[in-house]
C-alpha cells in the first residue's frame, strides 16, 4: 500500500508529547520532587483519564496554532536504523513484494512537506531550495501534486528499484481511477474503512483489489495479468476501470516518468554535484615551503636564515661569473651620439 517514510527523532517526539501534556494540564507540578520516570508516569496516567474527543480537541488546537503535526515514526534502534532513508532499503528480505500507490494521494491537502529530507538527499537543504525554486518557476509539469504526494510517488519507485537490484520478484501498481484516488481511499476495497458509495466502475475496481491482494497473499503472484515489474521499462499495473470505454486494468510502462526523472535522476545528480563542490571548496592545496611544517615556529628561524643565505650566495655567484667570465668589448658604444660623430665618415652622406 502507499506510504511515505518520514521519521522523527526521539527528542522531537518527546518535545511534542510534553507540549501536549502541558496543554492538557497533565504536566507534573513544577515544584514536585518527582524523578524523571515518576514525572512521565504522572503525565501518562493523567492523559489516560481524558476522554478521546478531548484528546482530539487538544491535538487540533495545537495543530491549528501552528505546532508540528502529531504523526510520524521514531528513528530508534534496533527497529529502525538511524541511516539515510535510501539505505533502509539496501538489505530487503528475499520475499516477493507488491508495492503501489494512488494517483492523487495527499493532493487534497496541498500542505508543505520536507520532500528533500524525506528522499534522503545528503544536501537536503540545497535540494529543497532547488525544488522550491523549480516549482515556483514551473520548471516541471507535476506541480499540481502536493509535496507529500510527490514524496510517495518517488519513494515508491526508489523502494521498487532497491528490491529489483536484489533480484526480488516485485509487483508495482498504481490506482489511477480519479473519483476516489486519495490516500487510503482504496483501503475501503479490502479493509472496509474509509468507505464511500461506489459508482459502476468502482464496483469492479473493488473486486480487482480483493482478487489481486488475496492472490498475492496466497501464491506470491497477484494474477489478473499483473506481471512483475521491469526496472528498465519501469512497468506497472495500471488499476483503472471504465465501463463506457471498456478500459480495464493493464500493464503499462513508464511509472510516473517525469516525477521519477526529476527526483531519482536529476535531483540525485544535483545532490552529488553539491557534495563534490563542498569537498573541492574545503580541500587544502599544499604550497611549497623552504622550511619544515612539522616543527614549532620558534625552531624555524635557523632554517629561514639558511634559506636566505643560499639564495644570496646563488645571486652573488651569478654576478661574479657575469663580470669576469663574460667581459664586454672595451670599445663598445653604450649609446649613439646625435651629432653623428660616432659613425664612420664614409657612410655619412651630405644633404
pLDDT (tens digit per residue) in 313-344: 787 777 777 666 665 544 444 444 445 454 44
What's the mean pLDDT in 184-205?
Answer: 89
Mean pLDDT of the chain: 82
- Return phi, psi of residue 227, to 5°: -95, 160
Q: What residue ranges do the domains of the chain occupy?
A: 1-82, 85-290
Neighbours of 92 (CB within 10 A): 15
According to the model, what pLDDT value does residue 199 have?
94
pTM: predicted TM-score of the whole model, two decimal places? 0.64
| CATH homologous superfamily for the domain 85-290 | Alpha/Beta hydrolase fold, catalytic domain (3.40.50.1820)
Our CA angle for 72, 105, 63, nearest 5°, is: 40
Report which secondary-structure segment, H or E, holds 11. helix 10-23
Query: What is the Cβ-side half-sphere exposure of residue 99, based on CA atoms within 13 angstroms?
Result: 27
Name the residue among 100, 92, 253, 233 with its Cα closest to residue 163: 92
Instruction: For residue 308, give every residue at least 6 positions away whose Cβ sits within 8 Å of its Cβ, in sequence order, or none.
Output: none
According to the model, what pLDDT value does residue 4 have?
62
Cell numbers for 229: 515489474
**pLDDT > 90? residue 175:** yes
Distances, alpha carbon 286 to alpha carbons 32, 279, 293, 328, in Å: 61, 15, 11, 45
According to the model, what pLDDT value does residue 334 have?
46
What distance in Å separates the CA atoms of residue 202 and residue 193, rounded to the nearest whole number?
15
β 236-239/97-102 pair status: unpaired
Amino acid at each position: 500500500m502507499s506510504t511515505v517514510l518520514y521519521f522523527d527523532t526521539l527528542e522531537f517526539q518527546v518535545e511534542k508529547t510534553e507540549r501536549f501534556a502541558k496543554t492538557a494540564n497533565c504536566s507534573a507540578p513544577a515544584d514536585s520532587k518527582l524523578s524523571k520516570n515518576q514525572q512521565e508516569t504522572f503525565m501518562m496516567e493523567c492523559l489516560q483519564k481524558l476522554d478521546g474527543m478531548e484528546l482530539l480537541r487538544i491535538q487540533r488546537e495545537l495543530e491549528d496554532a501552528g505546532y508540528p503535526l502529531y504523526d510520524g515514526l521514531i528513528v530508534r534502534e534496533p527497529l529502525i536504523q538511524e541511516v539515510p532513508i535510501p539505505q533502509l532499503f539496501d538489505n530487503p528480505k528475499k520475499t516477493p513484494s507488491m508495492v503501489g500507490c494512488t494517483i492523487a494521494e495527499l493532493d487534497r491537502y496541498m500542505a508543505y512537506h520536507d520532500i528533500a529530507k524525506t528522499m534522503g538527499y545528503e544536501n537536503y537543504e540545497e535540494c529543497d531550495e532547488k525544488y522550491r525554486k523549480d516549482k515556483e518557476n514551473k520548471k516541471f509539469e507535476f506541480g499540481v501534486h502536493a509535496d507529500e504526494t510527490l514524496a510517495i510517488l518517488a519513494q515508491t519507485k526508489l523502494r521498487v528499484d532497491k528490491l529489483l537490484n536484489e533480484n526480488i520478484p516485485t509487483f508495482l501498481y498504481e490506482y489511477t481511477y480519479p473519483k476516489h484516488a486519495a490516500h487510503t481511499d482504496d483501503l475501503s476495497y479490502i479493509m472496509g474503512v474509509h468507505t464511500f458509495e461506489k459508482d459502476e466502475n468502482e464496483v469492479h475496481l473493488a473486486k480487482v483489489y480483493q482478487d489481486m491482494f488475496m492472490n498475492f497473499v496466497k501464491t506470491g503472484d497477484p494474477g489478473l495479468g499483473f506481471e512483475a515489474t521491469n526496472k528498465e521499462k519501469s512497468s506497472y499495473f495500471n488499476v483503472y476501470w471504465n465501463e463506457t470505454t471498456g478500459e480495464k486494468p493493464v500493464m503499462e510502462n513508464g511509472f510516473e516518468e517525469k516525477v521519477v526523472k526529476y527526483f531519482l535522476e536529476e535531483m540525485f545528480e544535483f545532490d552529488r554535484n553539491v557534495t563534490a563542490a563542498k569537498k573541492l571548496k574545503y580541500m587544502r592545496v599544499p604550497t611549497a615551503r623552504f622550511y619544515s611544517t612539522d616543527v614549532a615556529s620558534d625552531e624555524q628561524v635557523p632554517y629561514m636564515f639558511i634559506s636566505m643565505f643560499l639564495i644570496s650566495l646563488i645571486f652573488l655567484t651569478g654576478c661574479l661569473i657575469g663580470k669576469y667570465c663574460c667581459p664586454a668589448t672595451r670599445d663598445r658604444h653604450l649609446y649613439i651620439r646625435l651629432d653623428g660623430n660616432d659613425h664612420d665618415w664614409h657612410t655619412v652622406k651630405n644633404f
